Amino acid sequence: GGVSSPRPGIKIKVVCRVRPFLKGEEQDNSVQVNHAERSLVVVNQRNPSEVLKYSFDNCYDSQATQEEIFTENLVPLLQEVCRGLDATVFCYGMTGAGKTHTIQGTPDHPGLIPQSMKAIFQRQKEFLAKATPGTSNKFDIQVSYMEIYKETVFDLFKPRDPGMKEGLMVREDAKRNVFVAGLEKKKIISLEQFELEFTKACKNRATAATRLNQQSSRSHAILGVDIKIEDGATNKVFKGKLNLIDLAGSEDNRRTGNDAMRLDESKAINTSLLVLGKVVDAINSRASRIPYRDSKMTRILQSSLGGKSLGMMFVNIAPAKKFFLETYQALNFATKSKEI
Ligand code: ADP
Ligand code: MG
């Protein structure tokens, strides 16, 4: 002990969020959240005497507000990003469990993306205003937004060429940093501008998916926010990055018998989520080998996952009994990646 470890003691936190019942949904609950204890229990539908308990870094029931989720989990991360660290946040769960609600939200109930951007612009304003007299501070914000579908990367800020099958290339620079060649990074100067660009990109995503007869729930959407802060008095520069990721639905499409789902599509989703689970597991168990290279997404995120970077996995859960298998699978995915 006492010697600095080559791998800093940062783990990927796992946060569970159970959504409310939706209109028309039968109100038969399969999970019970204990917020104070940061845990939940679920009864095995096949064997009701078996009650399973899962512990998390945070656990929220259907009453939790978007503000609460943001303040308790994202604010501390943003603090570190502004000090020059990278942070990556995922939403995992079956389609309909509340991933997009958590990460994007609605105009009335903004999710993690709009709340984070608002907080970053607030911070920018304060930092620019408090420059030492005679010097000027800088605070640059750049945003990228990509989609990974069947191991192919697309830029959501650019209209999709219908004939485009190839996607963007993932490359490595001389310092072995992995990057997506040709991915646009937009300089963003206001929250209003961000909201316009982001809304446009989301429509782009939906349109491309419809044209190709896909569903956006079968791809991963990765919003990257690069922050560069320069202190005019000291000339110190801090570069941090925040990734906010809406993952493809974790349901097993072969089991649920979705005809429209082609086998290769289903395989690609299952493989990339499986690799993500293995990467998170390897980071949290301090494994010497982390299989970043086994999927496009983990390869792209390599520098923002593990090492000194901060990570957070939201596990979104639908409460109804009919989703028990999906819930059970998602909880096990998360607990595997939970601190042991
Ligand atoms: P996913 O992105 O995982 O497929 P969505 O975020 O689209 O799921 O959520 C499915 C439905 O449930 C949507 O109608 C959404 O508005 C609603 N919903 C999800 N989470 C919540 C929540 N915490 N509070 C209220 N409504 C929610
Ligand atoms: Mg969604």
Query: Cα torsion for 250, 290, 87, 135, to the nearest 10°?
Result: -160
Dist. CA 65–CA 45, nearest whole Å? 29
Specify the pLDDT at position 262.
67
Specify the pLDDT at position 340.
33
Kindly identify the ligand whose nearest atom is closest to the C-alpha of 107: 1
**Nearest atom, ligand 1, residue 316 CA:** 3
Kindly identify the ligand whose nearest atom is closest to the C-alpha of 99: 1
Residue written as token pair 């995915």: 333
Q: How far is the CA of 284 from the centre of ligand 1 (A)?
A: 29
Specify the pLDDT at position 3.
38
Cβ(217) to ligand 1 under 6 A?
A: yes
Q: At what angle do helices 263-284 and 324-336 cross, to 10 degrees?
A: 40
Reported as a single tens digit per residue, the pLDDT across 262-305 is: 677 777 778 899 999 999 999 998 999 999 999 999 999 999 99
Specify the pLDDT at position 2.
36
Q: What is the pTM of this model?
A: 0.93
DSSP string, 192-242: HHHHHHHHHHHHHHHHHHHHTT--GGGSEEEEEEEEEEE-TTT--EEEEEE
Task: Extract the runs of DSSP E, i.e. beta strands, from 93-219.
Answer: 138-149, 152-155, 170-172, 178-180, 186-187
Cβ(104) to ligand 1 under 6 A?
A: no
DSSP string, 48-102: TT-EEEEE-SEEE-TT--HHHHIIIIIHHHHHHHTTT-EEEEEEE-STTSSHHHH
Interface confidence, given as ipTM, is 0.99
- For a pocket test of ligand 1, which of 15, 19, 95, 202 has the largest count of ligand atoms closer than 8 A to its C-beta? 19
Contact 116, 242 (CB under 8 A): yes
Q: Whose CA is nearest to atom 19 of ligand 1?
A: 98
For ligand 2, a single-atom ion, the residues with CB < 5 A are 99-100
Specify the pLDDT at position 54.
92
Contact 229, 127 (CB under 8 A): yes
Cβ(215) to ligand 1 under 6 A?
A: no
Q: How far is the CA of 11 from the centre of ligand 1 (A)?
A: 27
Q: Is 269 helix (H, G, I), strand (E, B) or coil?
A: helix
Dist. CA 66–CA 50, nearest whole Å? 32
Reported as a single tens digit per residue, the pLDDT across 80-109 is: 999 999 999 999 999 999 999 999 999 999
| Residue stretches of the chain with pLDDT short of 50 | 1-7, 337-340
Contact 250, 92 (CB under 8 A): yes
Specify the pLDDT at position 185.
97
Bridge partners (DSSP) of residue 244 are 89, 223
Q: How far is the CA of 261 from the centre of ligand 2 (A)?
A: 17
* Pairing of the two strands 310-317 and 86-92: parallel
Specify the pLDDT at position 306.
84
